[in-house]
Structure 1
Amino acid sequence: MVDEKSYYMTEEGKEKLETELHYLKTEKRKEIVERIKVARDFGDLSENSEYDSAKDEQAFVETRIAQLEKMIRNAVIIENDEEDADVVSLGRTVTFIELPDGEEETYTIVGSAEADPFEGKISNDSPMAKSLLGHGEGEEVAVATPGGEIQVKIVSIQ
């Protein structure tokens, strides 16, 4: 068997995925089956846009269900050890400033499965997180970005 990718996430992140999976399997599937039944009643399926739309949505939902099942099956829960509290690591919240005079920014470093920059959660695979991981408070770190390299200073780690 091929080794499957591990998906790093918090317990909260795993619970969100499980909730979404449950909804898709128990409610969304039924809605789509009903849409397909109704669309079939419109007649010729070869020229039936309602039917095509429902079948496309069904394919999307089934793909998402398979993806969620794989992510949950291969979930690795992030647990913060107190002995590493002074180092940026998965699950930690880090505050930094862009040098020389940027504003403070705060992000929690999570696995790609639950990354959401608008919620202040960045993936451990992102250039910013990769650069910060393993560094401590007060350190200055170079971060490669699409716009060029920037320097940041780590203000705090929680």
Structure 2
Amino acid sequence: MTPAGLQKLRDELRNIKEVQRPQNVADIETALGHGDLRENAEYHAAKERQAELAARMAYLESHISLAQVIDPAEMNSNKVAFGATVTLMDADTEEEVVYCLVGEDETNVKAGKISITAPIARALLGKEAGDDATVRLPKGTRDFEIINVEYKAVD
């Protein structure tokens, strides 16, 4: 994962611990004050939220502790690999698209960040500017030409 991706996970974990979980505890206490727990929807919803927060915290803590951080800004290569920002030309539409290959937790297609495990990313790995890449997708195959490969800091 990139340094920005790791920081995003840390920020989310901090938010859960410092904001969401204390609010959830307060919600449970408020619901307990309403009496009979058997028919107390607020209590059951708050307890369910507590379980969701605990599961997300465990997930985040695990991923943070096991993270392998790679800073694309420190990479020097002309081949597509993790962290690369790749400019592609769609052979059919002649439309240019730019993708940054990031870890699964950092994926944001609207921002142009795709997972290194995505079909497009896998088809691009090891290729250079000027190479062609054929991507097999559920809707059929698409051909791309790699216009540019660069490594820079990821936001």
Partner of 2:84: 92
In 1, Cα distance between the equivalents of 2:26 and 2:71? 42
Contact 1:137 1:155 in 2 (8 A): yes
Q: TM-score, normalised by structure 1?
A: 0.90
Partner of 2:36: 44
In 2, Cα distance between the equivalents of 1:29 and 1:117? 29
In 2, Cα distance between the equivalents of 1:131 and 1:78? 21
Partner of 2:153: none
Contact 1:71 1:113 in 2 (8 A): no
Q: TM-score, normalised by structure 2?
A: 0.92
Partner of 2:63: 71
Cα shift readout 1:66-112 (whole Å, capped 9, x = no counterpart)? 00001101101123421x2x111111100101113331000100010
Count of residue correspondences:
148
Partner of 1:153: 145
In 2, Cα distance between the equivalents of 1:146 and 1:61? 34
- Which residue identity lines up with residue 52 of structure 2 in the other structure? F
2:46 to 51, 54, 57: 54
- Structure 1 position 42, deviation (Å): 1.0
Counterparts in 2 of 1:96-115, with a 5 A limit?
A: 96-115=88-107
Cα shift readout 1:11-35 (whole Å, capped 9, x = no counterpart)? 1110111111011112211100000
2:4 to 12, 19, 37: 12
Gaps of 5+ in 1: 1-8
- Structure 1 position 43, deviation (Å): 1.2
- Which residue identity lines up with residue 142 of structure 1 in the other structure? T
SS at 1:76's partner residue?
A: coil
In 1, Cα distance between the equivalents of 2:143 and 2:89? 9
In 1, Cα distance between the equivalents of 2:92 and 2:38? 62
The CA RMSD measured in Å over matched residues stands at 1.0
- Structure 1 position 148, deviation (Å): 0.9
Partner of 1:31: 23
- Structure 1 position 64, deviation (Å): 0.5
SS at 1:59's partner residue?
A: helix
Gaps of 5+ in 2: 151-155
